Structure 1
């Protein structure tokens, strides 16, 4: 497995966290598990091999153009043989510049983006497949997303507010006071909650919970001294709080971290 990230153009940096190429080699089965990151993604299958994910205790085929909603519960996925996926990962608060529907509708689902966006994204996929170099493909992605951004100017003010609010949430320790955060921006807590659900797909408190979980993954990967140390550094109230949250996102204990996922650290927004 190879995972490589690429930087979008300057105009898209506030909206797209990274482009990436995810590749597998060989004839065997590749399996992994995705965990909550707080970010949505779009992936284009650049090979003929299909990807699958587990749904209702069985594996189902993915469409050639995938929209990954907010992953909250662990999501198992797999492919066989040599494959290549070209993807774009959005910031937590910016996927609504691409989609007009409420973002929370896509939570814990991998959807066919062509069913949502129609011919424009299908045409982009065809051009990507017929373009020989990676650099040219990345330029096509830039062009597509810039055009989309120009059509969605009406959400720009909300995205700016959510950018500031999500940054504040990342810096908070202890229990998040949503009312206090809303007051900072001159809006009601109910409206802030509504904005997060519509444009991030998560409530403010769940977003904070996922951010802490991702911080704990990075600390585990670095070999932090103890679970108590990790809990403190990631902003949990105590070790039991950390373990409880960790299990809710992985269905496993922190001590089992090394066996969880080959890509969990590579795709973490906290790395």
Structure 2
């Protein structure tokens, strides 16, 4: 039997880890195919065990076998097949987190999934994660990353900028964002590219579209029309909204079906 589970942290590390989500097909002899995962502006650390996952994304196919992987910023839906007797435990970290720990240029990992060994963390502990419970994986990730935490003006700027974009559901002009943060748009573009891997405009669009999809999947009030979604989220017109939606979800808003995606659980 396949199951999708979510767990949230309630301590000081909730500022860094948004949630733990688990795709558990470990005791199922059937493949779970034809599902997709949508970006939400966060990074993920994926702990894979068993036969693994098959991923299709922006022109490449990859088999994620047993191991630990870093998932960069994704710009569109990822197609995922969960192979029989496999499990993926995903540590979802907020967009500002790598800027406090990692010196690498995040634009190198946009729309990419790589083995986490590339970052030269404590590979001995990280290598033992496949096969562990989500609680052990969470505690180990915290143990490995906590000593690497470094404060600074750039990470603080990334934190404030991404928090503002997310709290405004992506509806915030880059010029307005720069003004609120007392920095130039050019500087903002530079730090976003290095520490997020996307421009502020690209990041805002992902947040905006993901919020729209969550509203479609779990409407808080009456069901809105495509035109209403376009206007409420400051798209130029309905055609612009439909084009952006199709690029993001790989399907038109009218044909969108929540059962085809792994989405955040309702009321989570």
Q: TM-score under structure 2 normalisation?
A: 0.84
Cross-structure match for 1:99: 102
Distance 1:172 1:19, change over 3 A: closer
Cross-structure match for 1:253: 252
Q: Is 1:206–2:206 an aligned residue pair?
A: no
Aligned-partner SS, 1:101: coil
Q: How does 1:1-271 map to 2 (within 5 A)?
A: 1-8=2-9, 10-24=11-25, 25-31=27-33, 32-45=35-48, 47-54=49-56, 59-63=61-65, 64-117=67-120, 120-126=122-128, 128-129=129-130, 134-149=134-149, 153-154=150-151, 156-170=152-166, 176-222=172-218, 224-258=223-257, 261-263=260-262, 265-266=263-264
Distance 1:252 1:117, change over 3 A: same
Aligned-partner SS, 2:255: helix
Aligned-partner SS, 1:123: helix
Paired with 1:194 and 1:260, the residues of 2 have a C-alpha distance of: 38
* More displaced stretch, 250-259 vs 192-201: 250-259
Paired with 2:110 and 2:170, the residues of 1 have a C-alpha distance of: 26
Q: Is the 8 A contact 1:173 1:235 kept in 2?
A: no
* More displaced stretch, 58-67 vs 69-78: 58-67
Q: Is the 8 A contact 1:220 1:230 kept in 2?
A: no
Q: Is the 8 A contact 2:54 2:83 kept in 1?
A: no
Aligned-partner SS, 2:251: coil
Distance 1:174 1:185, change over 3 A: closer
Aligned-partner SS, 1:13: helix
Paired with 1:245 and 1:95, the residues of 2 have a C-alpha distance of: 27
Q: Is the 8 A contact 2:217 2:258 kept in 1?
A: no
1:174 positional shift: 9.2
Please tell me the root mean square deviation across aligned C-alpha atoms, in Å: 2.8
* More displaced stretch, 82-91 vs 209-218: 82-91
Paired with 1:23 and 1:130, the residues of 2 have a C-alpha distance of: 12
Distance 1:259 1:187, change over 3 A: closer
Aligned length: 261
In structure 1, list runs of 5 or more residues that go unmatched.
none
